[in-house]
Structure 1
């Protein structure tokens, strides 16, 4: 019986996929899904320019499931820059391919090799991996990529930022030349363009969502000095009990902020590159479940965070690019929802702010924090904090 409660049936997806789409509560395709799915089903190469929160995972997952779920061999490979994003993609594939015979294996760093061997021994037809871990298996000849028909590279620009392009090029030399390639990226650095020209066949460019999340999220930008940022942050957090994601530039600053915040709020987790997989899992699962209502993270470590109902994103350190700003605030304005994004802007951030305004074709109002009310409240709150803060120890 054909399902009528979803518009996904117009893409000629099989009935098992439609059943799993309905079970997940998906009703209307997002813009990236509506444009990507029919093209991907034809086998054409795709360049998708899309931010987080636009639904791009399902945009490539659904065509992959349709085309390879019944195959015995490993026919699809998906590369992601971080463990968290790879896990998120794997989970989405398992849910959307539950009734279709999709068998998904996950290869990421921080997991014992014996777990990889077990995953590869389960005859997966879809493999999700981070580049470094997959290269390890290629070198040890423990993975066979000779039957790959579809290759998807997610967040290619962040692959570039993290130095993974040489590994990706090695992987591209191992997989069959006759394949479908889909690449998703928020920005298009020159090296990404070069990789596309060398390894894709007349790809169709699909661009969506570059400014959509910036439009959906309510945004507040504070012009503040570096030394006043902590006072302002404490003032904001003292008034909010909702789920908050805070971005800081360095690992050291993440640790410092988490310690300071935990003196007033014990429900704080932190996430950065020095954390082992078990620690990252505790932080993420705790934030997702509500055990921690505040997560402090570096931008790279936070790639792939898929947590519903993040009401507030705070850019403690303003991002170094306008595209990263849109990517970050997309954490709170996911799919059709909205949220609050607060950013601290110092003098050194003004050039990036101008680039952002040009990208989104909008002028942002800067709330000056100095002798004005936010600063005064922060100072008063700081005196209270200094009076009682040292008496309490961090639990995280």
Structure 2
């Protein structure tokens, strides 16, 4: 029985306690946010009060809302003239888009004007938006600095600057760009810094640019080894646009008898439920926007077997104890490692077998590692099932259905059909035709496109490794990259064009979605550069960079042609 009902009024009250304006509370309720995450509870009140803040929080903890909501709360009402009131610096194009979309959703009722600026996008569109006026600019350091140099972006009216994923920006070589950008903003601004790690160089930035900041570190609960459920834990790395298709394919292969799919918000719960039902599953939504009677009916159908998948938020799933659960699936990496432990504790009880599956975006590896550190157990990284794998699985399910029928059903009444057909056809062909009809009735062969693979940073690589740092400064590479599982790419641009290692790292990470930690040795000559990337991601990087510019140029990008 679900012992913790939560309705929309409770959800709004949770955020209302943080002092946010009514327009933002309405937006959060409409988006299905049920309660603040720990980083939001800790960060929003001091930011609303105007304090500077340093927050140590990994991807997936809700930190975008933690800084975006106070920024929107502080926007003046009515006509807003002048330059942007807030600037958010992020390391990659992908994150710029995500943060910009989030700010737009939260500030819809405020009429907020938000603009993402990054390389690879036509600059003319950005120039037009800046001329019309914007309230919040979300951008990568390189493109923001480019606009400052062109005098198309003036930061004299900025009241808040956010450095999101600051450690990642420093790893990508943006330290000088960040310093130059901050120099263009008012000294009395509010400055917010979020980082997954806090190395000395991050602390140095905080000391130079923040005034008596509030410091927040995501807490870590301790979990005794004996408290961990004994379940098979795995993860699939999937780009965000392909996650719904990937979820459906994983469920097709796993074929759970009863499973919970965890999502972050009510809106996401509804979207995932609709997708799964469209794929032929019996899926039910469970979230705080439902009445207790509705929730009880959903749980009754799950326990009775008429529903096989429950799609829920953490809050709505509190207190659930469904004995027949075989799978827990995280549609996103949980907001905190402790939440992961609580989720997967719903399977693998009393000696039963269970599976915990997580869909992770490429940039969320840090969160997976944090979960492994807390649990002391490894999460196996799996390869997404291919169309061939899915076809083989469906044939296996057809075979299993036939075997069950042969073992338990009364088949004698169908003998007259076989006898009449075998007068004209071979008995084996009759059996094949029957199998074909059964297979098609169960869904038939898969007619889907392959899901593109998403590269993941190699586990165990130390981002502070000396060879990695030296190579970023332009040192030589390894003689045989293929032996190390990497590909060496040729870029037709070099020192004569002012190329720096950080230009390459920033461009590749920003345009291809590859993490900066996946980029290996970089060698720059007068006329060209060589960059090592993981072999499985090489073609993806080439395709992305052929559509992009570096230092205002669109260089030739291809695999290096070896002379030996």
What is aligned with 2:348? none
Distance 2:229 2:118 in 1: 32
What is aligned with 2:245? 290
Structure 1 counterpart SS, 2:99: helix
Task: Give the 3 Å change call, closer, same or farther, for CA 57–395 of structure 1 in structure 2.
Answer: closer
Which residues in structure 2 correspond to 1:131-170 (within 5 Å)? 131-170=141-180
Distance 2:244 2:371 in 1: 38
Task: Give the 3 Å change call, closer, same or farther, for CA 97–24 of structure 1 in structure 2.
Answer: same
How far off its partner does 1:118 sit?
2.2
How far off its partner does 1:127 sit?
0.8
**TM (normalized to structure 2)?**
0.43
How far off its partner does 1:72 sit?
3.0
Distance 1:117 1:93 in 2: 20
What is aligned with 2:56? 49
Which residues in structure 2 correspond to 1:206-221 (within 5 Å)? 206-208=216-218
C-alpha contact (below 8 Å) 2:23/2:110 kept by paired residues:
yes
What is aligned with 1:332? 333
Task: Give the 3 Å change call, closer, same or farther, for CA 205–135 of structure 1 in structure 2.
Answer: same
How far off its partner does 1:24 sit?
0.5
Distance 2:228 2:49 in 1: 32
Task: Give the 3 Å change call, closer, same or farther, for CA 291–175 of structure 1 in structure 2.
Answer: same
Kindly report structure 1 stretches of 4+ aligned residues shifted beyond 3 Å.
Answer: 2-5, 209-213, 215-221, 291-295, 306-310, 334-339, 356-367, 393-396
- Unpaired segments ≥5 residues, structure 1: 222-235, 237-242, 247-282, 296-305, 311-328, 344-355, 368-373, 375-380, 385-392
Distance 1:9 1:91 in 2: 22
Q: Deviations over 1:287-323 (max 9, x none)?
A: 145279789xxxxxxxxxx99699xxxxxxxxxxxxx
Distance 1:79 1:218 in 2: 41
Q: Deviations over 1:154-193 (max 9, x none)?
A: 0011111111111111111111111100000010122111
C-alpha contact (below 8 Å) 2:56/2:194 kept by paired residues:
yes
C-alpha contact (below 8 Å) 2:87/2:137 kept by paired residues:
yes
What is aligned with 1:124? 134
Q: What RMSD, in angstroms, separates the aligned Cα atoms of the two structures? A: 4.2
What is aligned with 1:34? 41
Task: Give the 3 Å change call, closer, same or farther, for CA 363–332 of structure 1 in structure 2.
Answer: closer
Distance 2:131 2:11 in 1: 38
Task: Give the 3 Å change call, closer, same or farther, for CA 116–205 of structure 1 in structure 2.
Answer: same
Higher normalized contact order (CA 8 Å, seq sep 6+, divided by chain length): 1
Distance 1:38 1:209 in 2: 18
Distance 1:131 1:220 in 2: 41
In the alignment, which of 50, 75, 97 is matched to residue 87 of structure 1?
97
Which residues in structure 2 correspond to 1:1-396 (within 5 Å)? 5-6=11-12, 7-68=14-75, 70=77, 71-73=80-82, 74-208=84-218, 244-245=236-237, 284-285=240-241, 287-290=242-245, 331-334=332-335, 338=343, 340=357, 360=373, 363-364=376-377
Q: Deviations over 1:34-84 (max 9, x none)?
A: 111101011111001111111111111110001025343311111111111
Q: Deviations over 1:232-260 (max 9, x none)?
A: xxxx9xxxxxx9316xxxxxxxxxxxxxx
Task: Give the 3 Å change call, closer, same or farther, for CA 48–216 of structure 1 in structure 2.
Answer: farther
Structure 2 counterpart SS, 1:12: coil
C-alpha contact (below 8 Å) 1:219/1:341 kept by paired residues:
no
Over alpha carbons, which structure has the higher Rg?
A: 2
Distance 2:142 2:334 in 1: 31
C-alpha contact (below 8 Å) 2:237/2:359 kept by paired residues:
no
Structure 2 counterpart SS, 1:121: helix
C-alpha contact (below 8 Å) 1:217/1:332 kept by paired residues:
no
Distance 1:23 1:293 in 2: 26
How many aligned residue pairs are there? 278
C-alpha contact (below 8 Å) 1:69/1:103 kept by paired residues:
no
Distance 1:4 1:186 in 2: 30
